[in-house]
Amino acid sequence: MAELTQVTQVSESAATGTAGVTVRYFAAAKAAAGLGEEVRPLPGSGPGCSIQALLDSTPFGSAPVFARSTFLLNGVTTTDREALVHPGDTLDVLPPFAGG
């Protein structure tokens, strides 16, 4: 009889003890943020927050480039700023790119 093995996926933030969202900034968003990547704590006390609330919690979230950006949330494209992010998620901030 074959033995069943349970596989549990542990997010990087859970494994390292950080409770935040990995945010990666590209192109003009990287220039506005002044950094390429950070682990951002969730604002508030809930288990998640919207992409917009996460951006608003940064000192640079009101920069015009973020209003024009789209996002990859855990590898899935979204333009919904009310989409929820949770600890362990990865959010890529993608401003409009020239030529494409």
pLDDT in tens, 32-89: 999 999 999 999 888 899 999 999 999 998 899 999 999 999 999 999 999 999 999 9
Indicate the pLDDT class of residue 99, thresholds 50, 70 and 90: low
Asked, for residue 11, whether it belongs to a domain, the answer is no
**What is the C-alpha to C-alpha distance for residues 55 and 82, in angstroms, rounded to an integer?**
11
Structural domain boundaries enclosing 46? 20-94
Here the CATH number for the domain that contains residue 63 is 3.10.20.30
The total of structural domains in the chain comes to 1
Indicate the pLDDT class of residue 18, thresholds 50, 70 and 90: low
Token pair listed for 4: 């069943």
pLDDT at residue 44, as a whole number: 85
**What is the C-alpha to C-alpha distance for residues 72 and 22, in angstroms, rounded to an integer?**
12
Residues ≥6 apart with Cβ < 8 Å to 2: none
Residue 8 has pLDDT above 50, yes or no: no
Asked, for residue 43, whether it belongs to a domain, the answer is yes
Asked, for residue 13, whether it belongs to a domain, the answer is no
Cβ neighbourhood burial of 55 (10 Å; 0-12, 13-18, 19+): buried
Asked, for residue 4, whether it belongs to a domain, the answer is no
H or E segment to which residue 38 belongs: strand 37-41
What phi and psi values does residue 73 have, to the nearest 5 degrees?
A: -110, 110
Token pair listed for 69: 């950006």
